[in-house]
Amino acid sequence: AGNIAYSLKRLGAEPKIISAAGNDFDAYKKHLLSNGIDISYINIVPDKKTAFVSVITDLDDNQIGAFYAGALDYAVVSRDLPQGVGLAVISAESKDAMIKRVELYKELKLPFVFDPAQQIIKFSGAELVSCIQGAKMLIGNDYEFALILRKSALSLSDILGMVEILVVTYGERGSRIYTRSKSKLLSPLK
C-alpha cells in the first residue's frame, strides 16, 4: 500500500492508507509522513512484522513470489472510510480481505481499482471475475495479466467490457493503457 500511496502522492493525489503494519514500521512510517501521506487508518500490530513480498522473474517472464502477510492479516475491512474518498485501490492482502473490500465498495458504490498482484494464485476463476466486474480499473504486470486471463477464462475484450481502464505493465518496456475504445503504449519514466 505504501508504494502505491507514495506514487499517487507524487502525482498530486491525497492518498490515505487503509492497512496494517507491524512492529518494524517506524522507519517506513517516518518516510511516509515526511512525504505527506496520511497513515491514520493503518492498524499497528505490535507482535507481527509488516507484510512484504519478494518476486523473482526469469527471462521467460515466469515468476516465483514469496509473500509474508504478517500484520496484514490483521487489516480491518470497515465501513469507516476516510471522508470524501473518491477512489479506492484494492491491492495484495489476504484473498478474503480483498473480496470483502470488493463487496463493500460495490455496496457503497465507491469506485475502485483492483490490483490482485501476487495474490492472483489464491483466487478461483469465478472470484477473479466477480472482483473484476465491479472494478473501475484493473492493474497487473504482463505475467499477472496472463494469469488472470488463464484463471478467469476471460478474454481481453471480456475484461474491457467490465472495466473502464486496464493497465498492463511491462517493466523497462513501459505500460499499455487500455480503454474500451483504444489502447496506448507508454514508455517508462526515466
Q: What is the 3-state secondary structure (H, E, C) of the chain?
A: CHHHHHHHHHCCCCCEEEEEECCCCHHHHHHHHHCCCEEEEEEECCCCCCCEEEEEECCCCCEEEEEECHHHHHCCCCCCCCCCCCCEEEECCCHHHHHHHHHHHHHHCCCEEEECHHHHHHCCHHHHHHHHHCCCEEEEEHHHHHHHHHHHCCCHHHHHHHCCEEEEECHHHCEEEECCCCEEEECCCC
The whole-number pLDDT of residue 118 equals 85
Whether residue 12 has pLDDT greater than 90:
no
Which of the four pLDDT bands, split at 50, 70 and 90, describes residue 122? very high
| pTM of structure | 0.86
The whole-number pLDDT of residue 99 equals 95
Which of the four pLDDT bands, split at 50, 70 and 90, describes residue 153? very high
In the chain the domains, ranked by start, together with CATH numbers, are 1-76 (3.40.1190.30), 85-190 (3.40.1190.20)
pLDDT digits (tens, 9 = 90+) for 13-71: 888 888 889 999 989 999 999 999 988 888 899 999 988 888 788 877 777 778 788 88
Alpha-carbon gap, residue 176 to 166, rounded angstroms: 8
The whole-number pLDDT of residue 78 equals 81
The whole-number pLDDT of residue 103 equals 96
The whole-number pLDDT of residue 60 equals 77
Closest to 119 measured CA to CA, from 89, 98, 142, 141: 98
Write the CA distances from 158 to 54, 133, 189, integer angstroms: 31, 10, 30
